[in-house]
Structure 1
Amino acid sequence: MAARTRPLPTKPAKPVWPWLLLTAVLLGLLSWGYRVVTQPRNPAVQARALGRTPAQNWQALRAFGPRPVGSKGHDRAVDWLETQFSALGYRVTRQDVPLTRSFDLGGSLRAGQTVIPVAAIYGAAGGEQTAKLVRVPPQASAEQLRQPPVQTNIALTTCPGPNWKPLVEAVMTAGAFGLVVIDDCPTRRWQKVDATPLPLVQAGARDKGRLLALAGQTVTLRSQVEERPVIGHNLVAARVKARPEVLLGAHLDTVNGSLGANDNSSGVLSVLEAARQAVNTPLADHTWFVLFDAEEDGSLGSRAFVRQFGFPLHSTRAMLNFDMVGVDVRPLGAAIDPEVLPLARQVRPTLRVFEDEPVSDRKILGRFAPPTGRSDHLHFKLIQKRTVFLHRGEDVNYHAPTDQTLQPALVQDTADFGVALARAVLKADLKVKEPCRIGAPSC
């Protein structure tokens, strides 16, 4: 018998594709589950938050004290505001705003055995100089100070008025080696001066007699200032799927030493009240509510916001900026885009309209310096967005420690107008404006 030449049949191998299919299905289910678990969600609306009033919110906010960036009061206020927006059902995103601020470490004016404590003027960089102490008129102009003996000496003066910056600039222009201001002012505005490598200081009114007696003597003036990095926080409150077709904003920081009741707790409370009114309405699905930080340090928060959120802002039809709306200096007014003005007139025919400060492109040593303007809407104007700057005028307590009171009824009125105008903007046929071309000086 011949030998078998073909192998016996064997059991065929199982196909791989069922295992691959099962693996793909399992991976798909895991991916879907992960997205479901990790996708952003809107917080639940809390009934007690819906019942809060601007007056109640002001009582809570004022308890934190002054809110310059880097202070404990500032950070506590940011935490509280985030909690309030979350209680209204908005998901809050914190955007860090890093900056450097000056902190006074003390100083002294010494003449022989006499030592008088001094503090740096807001914004000054500190320094040390030995020179003759020369008394100058408190409201002298740069022209009046051009001649010696101010040049190369240390100027001494009494209160130059609520705003010290003009005198500081005049003294520095005249070539002084330093400045001592006796703070015997009945009112005071904290306006930041330019940092120079010279001691610019203030002394208490209790030392007025001793300081004036030193005029004409050689003194040593020392001021220590530390530049510290600090972190501000923009708060962006919005429903998860909301687009910023309308943006309502205000700055949350204050100048040093001021509660900032009108500048700008009034704006913050207006935005918070507008967010409350928008809850469970279509407005909440088309609006972002933003509190900008570091406005008092050069509108750094709004600049950082525009840079980071450029893509979502493509859908923005109008930005409403609330700044100093809690004191009835003048009726509520607006510096307003011409396309939005007719809508505002429909909402409030008596609305006061004023001209905004022009956006300036300054050149320093042939390069464009940061543009200047009045408030946070500036950076939205620079990307060709329609802006509405809501403002009731500059009151006597502007940038002063006395900025301690506001009228909740005016905050309520401003928020009511802002909400009505936002709804009108959404209903109107306003096309999205394209941003200015890349590389333009004003972009």
Structure 2
Amino acid sequence: MPQFGLRVALGAALLCSPALGSAAPATVESDLATVLKFGPRVTGSAAGEQARTYFEEQFRALGYDTRREGFTYARFDDLGSDVRVGDRPLSGLALQGTAGGEVSASVILVPGVGTPEDFQKVDARGKVAVVKRGQIPFGQKARNALTAGAAGLIVVNNEAGDLHGTLGERMVLPVLAVTPEVGAALREGQPVTLRVRVHEGEVRGVNVVASKSGVTQPDWLFGGHLDSVTGAPGANDNLSGSLAVLELARRVVSTPIAARSSFVLFDGEEDGLRGSRVFVKDHPGVVQHLKAMFNFDMVGVNVMPLAVGGDSELVEAARQAVPTLGTFRAGGDSDHAPFSQAGVPVLFFHRGLDEHYHQPGDTLADPALIRGAVDTALKAVDAVLGAASAGK
């Protein structure tokens, strides 16, 4: 881990400064209520812009400068796909890379997960093939269906809930992913109409960066993604993390750490960490200088007690500061990943995937849990500074 240039006195200021107490009123509740009213914050949406503007106003009211950093990328959107049984539409999600189109044909239930051997057991020619999720990539299932002459493919999730996924390549076959309940409603030989409605085009994402005037080489970066997925208000995923970043900025505003930090709300995380990847790519000097990146993602619902993952020394420092803190292996599925890949020590704060993950029911987050994540983060910062000062 790089040496931390700040002194332990700075860490003490984090815990002792009046800014951590009554001088900085807690407004997580009002922030949460306000932003949730905007609706799902899909990258490129009006709701995302409203949320971005609101956060900018809050940072500026605290005395931070803000700037927007825009970027564009190609995105695949499902415009409303389903499989119709008679007059009854059964909703599903198009797998990224699928061709759009409408196919009317009979159902063929393919035993297994759609391997070549599975398709050899049935006659799928001109039919809508139905296979289970698992064992092989979605793209291989689709290629096997094409080879077998299927006119369309339905992949049934092997666990509760919607199935989001990608084929990994462009396919001329319409492919729909459905829940176990929808899969159970499909019968052998049943006439259905598979409707896959998709659009591919360019979308504009916008990161919001807040810092004190003149901060160009921060030691610390505190971040979380502001976007959510289609149909999900995203209270926990990840308004909770965005509010943790804002609350942390409130807490430290009158301490020396504010002059050494940047606070970033990333866009496009749900589309493949787009915002954090662009930030790392566009700011090599800033990234190289960073002592640590703290990432907050889904910290408003206590599926599991608050846990951290990432750089081993940061994790150890956080655990020493908060012995009850859990740990987990931080993978590449959130905005810390591009920073870690660039050599920046990272600490990822997370409370687990709740039952409403990526669902319309993601409407609740507990402000007390969000504040608790911030409390822990500040103690971790203080512990890291103390360790650095002691030469550990």
TM-score if structure 2 supplies the norm length?
0.79
2:204 counterpart residue number? 231
1:332 counterpart residue number? 306
Structure holding more helix per residue = 2
Query: Cα RMSD (Å) of the superposition?
Result: 3.8
Contact 1:318 1:425 in 2 (8 A): no
2:273 counterpart residue number? 299
1:32 counterpart residue number? none
1:172 corresponds, among 135, 142, 145, to: 142
Contact 2:218 2:289 in 1 (8 A): yes
1:4 counterpart residue number? none
Contact 1:134 1:153 in 2 (8 A): no
Matches within 5 A, 1:140-159: 140-143=112-115, 145-149=118-122, 151-155=124-128
Q: Which runs of 5+ in 1 are unaligned?
A: 1-44, 358-372, 431-443
Contact 2:308 2:315 in 1 (8 A): no
Aligned length: 361
1:198 counterpart residue number? 173
Distance in 1 (alpha carbons) for counterparts of 2:382 and 2:181: 56
Q: Return the offset for 1:313.
A: 2.3
SS at match of 2:142: helix
**2:391 paired with 1:421:** no
Distance in 2 (alpha carbons) for counterparts of 1:95 and 1:248: 16
Post-superposition Cα deviations, 1:222-281, rounded to whole Å, max 9, x if no partner, equal 533221211111111101223320111111111111111221111111111101101111
1:63 corresponds, among 13, 24, 37, to: 37
Post-superposition Cα deviations, 1:53-110, rounded to whole Å, max 9, x if no partner, equal 2222111111111111122211111111111111111111111121222334456879
Q: Return the offset for 1:206.
A: 12
Change (3 A) 1:413 1:154: farther
SS at match of 2:128: strand
Contact 2:74 2:202 in 1 (8 A): yes
Change (3 A) 1:141 1:85: same
2:252 corresponds, among 271, 278, 283, to: 278
Task: State percent identity of aligned pairs.
Answer: 35
2:333 corresponds, among 374, 398, 408, to: 374
Structure number with larger C-alpha Rg: 1
1:51 counterpart residue number? 25
SS at match of 1:290: strand
Q: Answer with 308-317 or 59-68: which moved more.
A: 308-317
1:343 counterpart residue number? 317
Counterpart of 1:172 in structure 2: which amino acid?
A: A
Distance in 2 (alpha carbons) for counterparts of 1:337 and 1:213: 50
Contact 1:124 1:199 in 2 (8 A): no
Post-superposition Cα deviations, 1:118-160, rounded to whole Å, max 9, x if no partner, equal 77526354333657422427x94234733253644443659x7
Counterpart of 1:302 in structure 2: which amino acid?
A: S
Change (3 A) 1:311 1:203: closer
Change (3 A) 1:326 1:120: closer
1:400 corresponds, among 339, 355, 359, to: 359
2:295 corresponds, among 303, 321, 341, to: 321
SS at match of 1:249: strand
Contact 2:301 2:366 in 1 (8 A): yes
Contact 2:109 2:130 in 1 (8 A): yes
2:74 corresponds, among 89, 100, 118, to: 100
Greater relative CO (CA pairs within 8 A, separation 6+): 2
Distance in 1 (alpha carbons) for counterparts of 2:143 and 2:87: 29
Q: Return the offset for 1:388.
A: 0.7
1:17 counterpart residue number? none
Distance in 1 (alpha carbons) for counterparts of 2:328 and 2:182: 44
SS at match of 1:145: helix
Counterpart of 2:144 in structure 1: which amino acid?
A: A
Change (3 A) 1:115 1:396: closer
Distance in 1 (alpha carbons) for counterparts of 2:108 and 2:186: 8
SS at match of 2:388: coil
Q: Answer with 314-323 or 417-426: which moved more.
A: 417-426
2:7 counterpart residue number? none
